[in-house]
Amino acid sequence: MSEQINAIGFYKGLAIEDPNSLRNLKIDRPKASGNDLLVEVKAVSVNPVDTKMRQSHPETKNPTVLGFDAYGVVAEVGDQVTNFKTGDHVFYAGTNNRAGSDQEFQLVDARIVAHAPNKISLEEAAAMPLTSLTAWETLFDRMPLIPKENANSGKEVLIINGAGGVGSIAIQLAKWAGLKVITTASRPETIEWVKKMGADVVLDYHQSLSDQLKAVGIETVKYAAIFQSTDAYLPILAKIVAPEGFITSIVENAHPLPMGLLKAKSITFAWEFMFTKSIFHTDDMATQGQILAKIAELLDNKQLRSTLTLTLTGINADSLRRAHEQVESNKMIGKVVVTGNFNAK
Amino acid sequence: MSEQINAIGFYKGLAIEDPNSLRNLKIDRPKASGNDLLVEVKAVSVNPVDTKMRQSHPETKNPTVLGFDAYGVVAEVGDQVTNFKTGDHVFYAGTNNRAGSDQEFQLVDARIVAHAPNKISLEEAAAMPLTSLTAWETLFDRMPLIPKENANSGKEVLIINGAGGVGSIAIQLAKWAGLKVITTASRPETIEWVKKMGADVVLDYHQSLSDQLKAVGIETVKYAAIFQSTDAYLPILAKIVAPEGFITSIVENAHPLPMGLLKAKSITFAWEFMFTKSIFHTDDMATQGQILAKIAELLDNKQLRSTLTLTLTGINADSLRRAHEQVESNKMIGKVVVTGNFNAK
């Protein structure tokens, strides 16, 4: 009989108040083969993708295990793995078509994993992978910006929703890369937060963005990233983005989009979906491991700061339900991490 | 009193059968200043943009002069112009917010003009600027392909509507740049034409494109250009284009677009509108002069062939109405050029 491990999962999408929305489970311990690592998970984070996947999930016979951010220690390596060994400390987001990090031992493809930063806490590290990968790919894969310190000076980026998980890293990475950063925020605490992340100009999203830009002498911006309602912001950005400019979004549209608004200016619209590389096993899948290695370096050099703001102890259904609740509130600033022992009750 | 010149224009959008849809007019001869050249026009072409602008035009007091392709001789240079002199033979598309080439003497910004090719006829040259600029910008400005001979080998592009004006040049430029070219055509004469242009694989657009691709061993393509109905082809390309692939379109959507279909693959969608650079006076506006200079070189070296298929003689309202009729028929293969004297009757 195979060894059992602790995991947190569910059989059906339920409201987070329901105790069955996330349950303590026992599952078989997986075994590493091929390109996989088996990682003993020490800390996980919760992202909007977790809550969305949970809420919309049909009833299934086998449990679904979420979790797309982890810090852990390599317990086994597959026979194709060359750059990791047992005992290495790693961090990664993983992919959304395999079981996630809410389990004691998780299989993850070594190509999308990096050695963890070692000058920050494991909780600070666990908060970072998914949002860092998304922010990096938004700026440097989907738009023609250069992923190098101060390499884009004289350019500017408008980040819609700078206080969110991805926005907070995008501001920091854009500043590191030399861009001027304009972002949106509205509450006093989010305005303070985005300034701490490095934003140069903060716009109130309850007022006209173009009027506020004109007031600070900016007519158009060449690069824009949408981290909130593409439906709402596409028409607004059609006016603000410069001819031959770029818009990248991570938020799926609810309705068909009036793309013709972008045509006269020959604007490019790109989607960024962080799981594309791992779902489709693209030729450049290993760039995710490389990006995370660079993120670890920037964190250790204090050129990037962790966005961790809340730590819950004990990786179990209770704490993960609390973490999901925080994310669902839409009021969260920064990231929540759940750490400590898997102590399923 | 200023000198009068011949021009062909109209005061109101009318069906092409109406003799007033394009009329012989006398207008004031313009004078060159600043960055402008005044060019004595020797040949013009007609593109779909002419017929669309004519058809949708409201009634106006002053006449509208169309024409966005010309071969001519420089008659005057503005005081800011450094790279052209009186007597130079030039070719250009011009821009759609100034009077077009359907006049004896036309003002055009020197930054979007090039010296004409000299080893082909003036009619062959006049057929080329608008479609060449559009095809070049589609491939090399809006998608990350390299505008250099054989520089993209191992890559492939799918060109929707290869037999049209822009498609015919896009096929040739893509082949020159080393790409494998897949295109759509359906009638025997268009299939023959796109093969002559260099297409490697021809798909019948009345059948499933993905089934036909699979039959020749192609699962996905990384680059796709839409030169016909974006509304019809976006959902089809969502299935065919590879993860992290690129779609560029020159055809404005009639309805909002289901862009969410592109999200899981992180696909980029770019608009190409050839007049963006000149309308907005972008920083890279002069690249249009540079692209046309390269096109002239490729034409003279026989690396690119003119798409001229029909020449009408006598630049006047009768011949231009015939040329518009040809373009409106949607059956045109290649380009129509009107040349000879302006002999308004």
What does the pLDDT look like over B87-126, one tens digit per residue? 999 999 999 999 999 999 999 999 999 999 999 999 999 9
Q: How far is A44 from chain B (nearest CA, A)?
A: 24
Over residues A311-336, the mean pLDDT reads: 95
Residue A271: its chain B contacts at CB < 8 A? 259, 262-263, 265-268
- Which residue of chain A comes nearest to B268, CA vs CA? A270
Q: For residue B331, is pLDDT > 90?
A: no
Which domains does chain B show, CATH number per domain? 4-130+283-342 (3.90.180.10), 143-271 (3.40.50.720)
Q: Which of B257, B265, B280 sits opposite A259 (nearest CB)?
A: B257
B271 neighbourhood in chain A, CB within 8 Å: 259, 262-263, 265-268
Q: List, in sequence order, every residue forming a beta bridge with A250; answer none if it has no partner.
A: none
DSSP assignment of B300-311? HTTSS---EEEE
Q: Which residue of B has its CA nearest to A248?
A: B268
Q: How far is B344 from chain A (nearest CA, A)?
A: 34
Residue A291 has pLDDT above 80, yes or no: yes
CB B126 within 8 A of CB B323: no
Q: Which residues contact A332 (CB under 8 A, 6 or more apart)?
A: A165, A309, A310, A326
Place of tokens 């973490």: A323
Q: Nearest residue on chain B to A261, judged by CA atoms? A: B252
DSSP state of B76: E
**How many Å apart are CA B95 and CA B271, to the nearest integer?**
17
Of A252, A258, A269, the CB nearest to B269: A269
Beta carbons of A266 and B259 less than 8 Å apart: no
Task: At B31, give phi and psi (nearest 5°).
Answer: -125, 140
Closest Cα in chain B to A265:
B276
How much is the pLDDT for A103? 98
Residue B1 scores a pLDDT above 70: no
Calculate the dihedral angle through the C-alpha atoms of A295, A300, A306, A312, rounding to the nearest 10 degrees: 110
The answer to whether B35 and B110 have CB atoms below 8 angstroms apart is: yes
Nearest to B271 among A137, A267, A277 (CB): A267
pLDDT score at A343: 74
Q: Which of A258, A264, A269 sits opposite B276 (nearest CB)?
A: A264
Helical residues (DSSP H) of A249-301, grouped into ranges: 276-279, 287-300
Residue B141 has pLDDT above 80, yes or no: yes
- Residue-wise pLDDT tens digits, B224-233: 999 999 999 9
- Cβ of B244 and A269 within 8 Å? no
Q: Do B256 and A252 touch (CB under 8 A)?
A: no
Q: At what angle do helices A287-300 and A129-136 cross, to 10 degrees?
A: 110
Distance from CA of A225 to the nearest CA of B (A): 13
Q: Is B271 close to A272, i.e. CB distance below 8 A?
A: no
Predicted ipTM beyond 0.90: yes
Q: Do A280 and B260 touch (CB under 8 A)?
A: no
Q: Nearest C-alpha of chain B: how many angstroms from A231?
A: 11
What mean pLDDT, rounded, does chain A reach? 96
Residues A162, A198: Cα–Cα separation, whole Å:
10
Mean pLDDT, residues A89-104: 97
- The 10s digit of each residue's pLDDT in B11-43 is 999 999 999 999 999 999 999 999 999 999 999
Per the CB < 8 Å rule, is A243 touching B280? yes
Distance from the A268 Cα atom to the nearest Cα atom in chain B, whole angstroms:
4
Residue B344: pLDDT over 90: no
First to last CA, chain A: 22
B6 pairs with which residues across the strands? B26
User: Per CB distance under 8 Å, which residues of B are interface residues toward A?
Assistant: 137, 141-142, 144, 230, 243-244, 252-253, 255-260, 262-273, 276-277, 279-280, 282, 284
